[in-house]
Structures are given as C-alpha cells and as structure tokens.
Amino acid sequence: MEHHATAGTLLGLSGTVWFYLLTVAAVVAVVYSLSHKIQLMAAGRREVVLEDWPARVRGFIVWAIGQKRLFAEPVAGLMHALIFWGFLVFAVRSLSLIVEGLTKGWEPPLLRTPLGAAYLLTKEAFIVLVLVGVAIAAWRRLVTRPARLEYSADAWVILGLIALLMVTDALADGARIAGGAPGPWQWTPVSRAAGSLLGGSSLHAVYAWSWWIHLVALYVFANYLPFSKHFHVYTSLPNVLLRPLEAAGRLEKMDLESIDEGTTLGAQKVTDLTWKQLLDVYTCTECGRCTTVCPTTITHKPLVPRDLTIDLRDHLNAASAEIVGEPGDRPGTPARELAGDVVEPEAVWACTMCRWCEEACPLFISYIDKIAAMRRHLVLEKATFPEEAEIAFRGMEVNGNPWQLPAEQRADWARGLDVPLASEGGSFEYLFWVGCAGAYDEIGQKTSAALVRLLKAAGVSFAILGSEETCTGDSARRLGNEYLFQVLAAANVETLNRYGVTKIVTNCPHCLNTLLHEYPDFGGRFEVVHGTQLVAQLVAEDRLALTREVHQVLTYHDPCYLGRTNGEYEAPRRILAAIPGLVLKDAELSREKAMCCGAGGGRMWLEEKLGERINRTRVKQLQGSGADDVAVACPFCAVMLSNGQQELGCESAKTVDVLVLAAQALEGPAPDTQLPA
C-alpha cells in the first residue's frame, strides 16, 4: 500500500542504484578526506606516551560524554550539550536509515523490544532538544552576540544541516505513522504530532522526500566537516581520550644528550610538533573560551590563544602538499618556520603561561607546550630572544639567580632569625626552599621571615640551603632555555639528595611547581607544599594560634601556579579567615577565573612593550571587589601588583603576603615590621 512507505517501496530499481552510488561516493569521499588529515597529523613527532587507560576512559566519560567543562557557561554549555548528545543519539538513527536503504526496508528487530521503545522515546525527545539547542545557538549569534565568538557563514551551514536532519526525521516517521505502518509508534509523540499535521498530503511523497533529504544532508554534513572549522566533530572525542595526564603545567624534558647533526631543537616547523599537538589544532571549535580571561587577549597583545591554534591549523592545511607529497611519499618538511613566518615572534614571547586557555578549553587543547617548543627553538638554535632575557639567563648561570646578585648573599635575609642551615648537620623535617625572590627581593624577604616565625611558633623543624640553593630554573625553562634549566635542576637535585631531603616547603608557587612536577625527571622526588598549605594545616591542628587582630579590608589574588596549575585555592583563604579583624572580599575574577598578574612564563624579567600593562589591568579588576589592599601568596605577584598600584597612583593601597598577615596575627609581641639588619 502507498501509505506503508519504506525504503523498499520508494526506491525502485533506479532509486536503489542511485542510493548505492551516493552512499559509496559519500563514504569514499569521507575516507579520503579523513585519511589526508590523518597523514598530516602523523607527520608530527611520535614522542607521545599514552598510559593509564582506565583514567583516560574515566575522564573521557566525564569530560567528553558528560561535557563537564562546557557547563562553566550554563547557557552555552546547555546549548552545545543538547546538540552533542543529540548527535550521539541520532548516530544510531541515521545508521538505521542507511541500512534501510541498503536492504530495501529491513528494520532491526530490536526496535520491537522495550530497549527499542526506550531508544525511540529518547530519539523523539532529542528532536525537540536539539532544535532547542540550535535555536539557542542562533539567538546567541543574532541577538546576544558574545564577544568571544567568531561569526561566519560556516556556523550557519552546520546549524542548518542539524536542524534539517531533525525535521526530516520527524516528517519521515510522521508520514509512516499517518499511513498506518506497523510499529511501536506510541513511543514517538513528536513524529505522531508531525503525522497529524500532514493531513491529505501524499504520504508516500512526504516520506520519500524526507528520507532522501535526510540522507543527502547526512552525507553532505559528513563530507563538509573536514573542510570546516567544525572538523572537531570528528576529532574532539579522540582528543579528550588522548589528553595528557601528567601534572598541569609540567613541561616535557628535552633529550639534550642525544643531539646530533641535523637535530632540530624545539619546534622550527609544524612537523616538529607531535602528532597529538597537531590533533589539537584540528580540534579547536573556535568557541573563544580560551580568550575570556587570557591576560594577553584582554590587554591587546599579539597573542590570542584561539588565533594561535587557527594559524597553526591553516598553515598545516596550506603545507599539506609539502608534507604529504604524492601518494606513497614519505612525509616532507614545510618551508615556512613557525615562529616568524606562521606566528609572530611577539606572540610567542607574550604568553605568561598562566594556563587559563588550557583550563577553559572543553576539549583539552594544550597551548603552553607549543609556545615553549617555539621558544626553545628561538633560544637554543637561533639565539633570538628579548634582550632582557639575556640578563636573567646570565644571572642564573653565573650567580644562580636572575637578579645577578652574589650567591653568598642568598641567606643574608635570615641574619638574626636563628635559621638553621642544612650544612650544619642537624635533623629537620622540612627543607625551606627560599627561592630567589624570597632571598633577594625585599617583599619576598619579609615573607621568608614571616614563614620562619610561623614555623618556629608551631614547633616545626626546618633548615635552609643558604648559598647552596640556586634558582630552580623555572623562568629559564619557560623562556626556552632548556639547557640552562637542566643544568640548574641537576645541581639542585644533587644538593637536595645529598642532604636526604624528603619534604620541602616553599613560598613561591613557581618553585613549587618545578620542584614537585619537573624535578622528578632529574631524580628529585620530594613531597612539596606551599607555605600557605603548611600554615593552614598547622592552624587547623591548633599548632598555631592567630589571635592578634589585624584590622584590614582586602581582596585575595589567586596566583596562577598555586591555584589554576596546582589546584590550591582554599589554604590562603583559610588563613585569612582565621585572622581576627580581617575582612576578605573576593573579586569577580578570582579562584579558577583569576587573571594572571603578568609575571609568569618568564615574563617577570621581560619588558611589557605592547598593549596595556597586565599588572595595571589586574589591579583594576581587584579594586572591583571594593577593597584597595591585596593579599597574595606568590612573590612575583607581590611585585607585579605592588608596582601596578604605584603606577596607577594608588599610593595608599598595599599588597601584602598572606603569610606576613598570619605572622602579624600570632600570639605574643607584635612582630617587627622591619627586616633584621
């Protein structure tokens, strides 16, 4: 009967031939496009270690299937999640329509089971939900127009195809229901509603047109994706599954012992990136989440994380003929260099490596490793870097600190404080890693003295290395001087191991990150805590009593390498909350969304010549809390924000370390605010 339309009744002989030809052509085209992209990604370096598959799968379920990161922005997250989940549900439906065409109407018996009924009901629900998601996306692009989005016709093509797939599915099933076709249609309320609207229409024609349009749209969609910014539909799931599992902010160790003639140091060409990094560049959705709290984007520097990825992707596509060559050729080398030809050198050096972009990206695209690889090439192979970096490098190499001050003065801050040295041979629980800022910078010295007072008050045994301590090399590594970093790291690890150090406390989040996550590559495995973490623990254990009132209204600035990179947001706040008389006001951009002060990634030692000054912008953000004074937990942040306050003319505003405030609140006589002579 005409009303019982199926693929078998609507195709006929010529229709069947056309369907087979169309299907084969679509599959061949998709396979060709994907294989070409895979060849380009495979041309990258192979040094990618994939371990701990149970953790990968667990994260895949939460981050990829559950879309957890997207819900940081509820409306946009809901919109994308509805479309994504609908995509998963309709993958089964679309496959069944293809099978129906290939078999002239065969339907899987599973649809007649309770499981099939549940699927039909789910599918029906997602017809509506996906259309709602498409409507939200359209509204955002037409009306609200968020600044972070890129606006192009490409998005409208994709949204149109998605909506077309939903509508044609409902019309096809609606025509079958109206025609009296057998099936569990009680589970398809949306299609039944569509069928009731068809009235006296030719149901056979409605079904035929809907079936054909649905499948043609599906084939067009599948073949359009590899040539659009929505290629992430193919790459996003594998990219999340294959995401790096090592500690956030950790940079890979370069093998400097196996260098021979012809070895490229760092990333000169796009093929010097790893295949996983090239998978990254094909996974970007251009959503712009990476830009919202990016300090270089906000202050109008040449570096915009999304644009960096797009530039790399476009270059990879443009260089495909050079890389892949003719069929059967081995991968070649593109002519253009990354830093200079593809990416502006100013953009490479602008990054503060605060990692907002990496934490914001819902698909776990990495940025810091790519920028570090380009910096390594510029420094190690081309000797091209900002002239201020040369001063810091020389200081670290000759004196063990970027201030270029004598190593024998490293412990001068501790005079009169009765601070034991590890070389004196006494036993101690913690090695206090003072850090260069804590030893040489006036603000950092006060914080070092404050921690000493707190540890002594709590009865914690500790020692310092004094002149035997040198810079961890954090800034050297992040500025691209991997050789200098490895020299410093090896020397420090040898010293720490010689004294049998197992536990370290430090006030510098950059030292914390390097000692904890990067020194294990050099044989240094230590339990490392930040000063605020240890003091917060001591307060919680009633080993420290903060009873002296400190009458001050302030806001707290979250350091990137303590908060975002090492996940510690609460310890400094617990200390501040324990101080009587102190009032804490959080700024809008705080905790996970705190913007960088501008000192990270070695930028502490470089001049800021382009755009607005990051430290001033951050000070203005913090002033939005209603407090002028700022508490910090990083010596670099202390310098940058204090300078920013002065540059903005906020003469009465203060920047003070959390540990200094804690020392002021200790029982007993008020601490001397001056450093010992």
pLDDT in tens, 51-95: 899 999 999 999 999 989 988 888 888 888 898 998 888 888 888
The answer to the question of residue 562 being in a domain is yes
| pLDDT, position 154 | 84
| pLDDT, position 480 | 96
pLDDT value at 186 more than 80 = no
Supply 451's token pair: 């921690």
297 plus 164 within the same structural domain: no
Phi/psi at 506 (5° precision): -145, 150
User: What is the percent of the chain where pLDDT is above 90?
Assistant: 69
| pLDDT, position 673 | 44
Distance from C-alpha of 125 to C-alpha of 291, rounded to nearest angstrom: 34
Nearest to 449 by CA among 666, 288, 169: 666
pLDDT value at 675 more than 50 = no
633 plus 490 within the same structural domain: yes
Identify the band that residue 2 occupies on the pLDDT scale cut at 50, 70 and 90: very low
pLDDT in tens, 97-109: 787 777 766 666 6
The answer to the question of residue 676 being in a domain is no
Nearest-Å Rg of the Cα atoms of the chain is 30
The answer to the question of residue 265 being in a domain is no
| pLDDT, position 107 | 66
Domain end position, chosen among 339, 366, 381 = 381
The enclosing domain of 368 has a CATH number of 1.10.1060
Partners of 430 in the β-ladder = 462
Average pLDDT over residues 531-538: 97
Least confident of 12-26, 152-166, 340-354, 420-434: 12-26
**Using an 8 Å Cβ cutoff, are 469 and 410 in contact?**
yes
Which one-letter amino acid corresponds to residue 524? G
User: What is the percent of the chain where pLDDT is above 70?
Assistant: 93
The Cα-based distances of 58 to 62, 68, 130, 242, 558 in angstroms read: 6, 12, 26, 12, 29
Helices 114-139 & 153-178, crossing angle to 10 degrees? 140
Average pLDDT over residues 482-498: 97
The answer to the question of residue 629 being in a domain is yes
Q: Are strands 655-657 and 629-632 parallel, antiparallel or unpaired?
A: parallel
Nearest to 470 by CA among 406, 420, 380: 406
Partners of 582 in the β-ladder = 552
The model carries a pTM of 0.90
Nearest to 352 by CA among 510, 521, 485, 589: 510
Identify the band that residue 329 occupies on the pLDDT scale cut at 50, 70 and 90: low
Phi/psi at 651 (5° precision): -65, -30
Phi/psi at 105 (5° precision): 115, 0
Average pLDDT over residues 385-403: 94
Q: Which helix (H) or strand (E) holds 97?
A: helix 74-102
Average pLDDT over residues 471-492: 97
527 plus 626 within the same structural domain: yes
Distance from C-alpha of 92 to C-alpha of 85, rounded to nearest angstrom: 12
The Cα-based distances of 37 to 43, 231, 323 in angstroms read: 10, 10, 11
Identify the band that residue 119 occupies on the pLDDT scale cut at 50, 70 and 90: confident
What total number of domains does the chain contain? 3
Nearest to 590 by CA among 562, 610, 609, 616: 562
Residue 310 lies in domain: 270-381
Domain end position, chosen among 334, 353, 381 = 381
The answer to the question of residue 40 being in a domain is no
394 plus 374 within the same structural domain: no
| pLDDT, position 70 | 87
The Cα-based distances of 434 to 401, 411, 430, 440, 482 in angstroms read: 12, 9, 12, 10, 22
pLDDT value at 328 more than 70 = no
The answer to the question of residue 575 being in a domain is yes
Q: Return the higher-pLDDT residue of 299 and 326.
A: 299
pLDDT value at 12 more than 90 = no
397 plus 377 within the same structural domain: no
| pLDDT, position 654 | 94
| pLDDT, position 217 | 92
| pLDDT, position 585 | 95
Q: What's the chain's average pLDDT?
A: 90
134 plus 91 within the same structural domain: yes
| pLDDT, position 670 | 53
pLDDT value at 343 more than 90 = yes
376 plus 392 within the same structural domain: no
| pLDDT, position 196 | 83
| pLDDT, position 418 | 93
Q: Which helix (H) or strand (E) holds 630?
A: strand 629-632
Identify the band that residue 677 occupies on the pLDDT scale cut at 50, 70 and 90: very low
Average pLDDT over residues 12-27: 80
374 plus 395 within the same structural domain: no
The enclosing domain of 151 has a CATH number of 1.20.950
Supply 134's token pair: 């498409």
Identify the band that residue 454 occupies on the pLDDT scale cut at 50, 70 and 90: very high
361 plus 412 within the same structural domain: no
The Cα-based distances of 476 to 114, 301, 389, 472, 537 in angstroms read: 63, 22, 9, 9, 32
| pLDDT, position 177 | 81
| pLDDT, position 114 | 79
| pLDDT, position 434 | 97
451 plus 593 within the same structural domain: yes
**Using an 8 Å Cβ cutoff, are 573 and 579 in contact?**
no
The answer to the question of residue 248 being in a domain is no
Identify the band that residue 11 occupies on the pLDDT scale cut at 50, 70 and 90: low
Strand order in the sheet with 629-632: 582-584, 552-556, 629-632, 655-657
- DSSP at 379: I
Average pLDDT over residues 23-38: 92
Identify the band that residue 676 occupies on the pLDDT scale cut at 50, 70 and 90: very low
- In 3-state terms, what secondary structure has residue 255? coil
Distance from C-alpha of 33 to C-alpha of 128, rounded to nearest angstrom: 32
537 plus 585 within the same structural domain: yes
Q: Return the higher-pLDDT residue of 11 and 545.
A: 545
pLDDT value at 672 more than 80 = no
147 plus 223 within the same structural domain: yes
Supply 366's token pair: 């990495």
Supply 321's token pair: 């003929």
Q: Return the higher-pLDDT residue of 141 and 617.
A: 617
pLDDT in tens, 549-606: 999 999 999 999 999 999 999 999 999 999 999 999 999 999 999 999 999 999 999 9
The answer to the question of residue 247 being in a domain is no
Partners of 629 in the β-ladder = 554
**Using an 8 Å Cβ cutoff, are 157 and 228 in contact?**
yes
Domain end position, chosen among 224, 241, 258 = 241
Distance from C-alpha of 546 to C-alpha of 539, rounded to nearest angstrom: 8
Distance from C-alpha of 661 to C-alpha of 656, rounded to nearest angstrom: 7
pLDDT value at 327 more than 70 = no
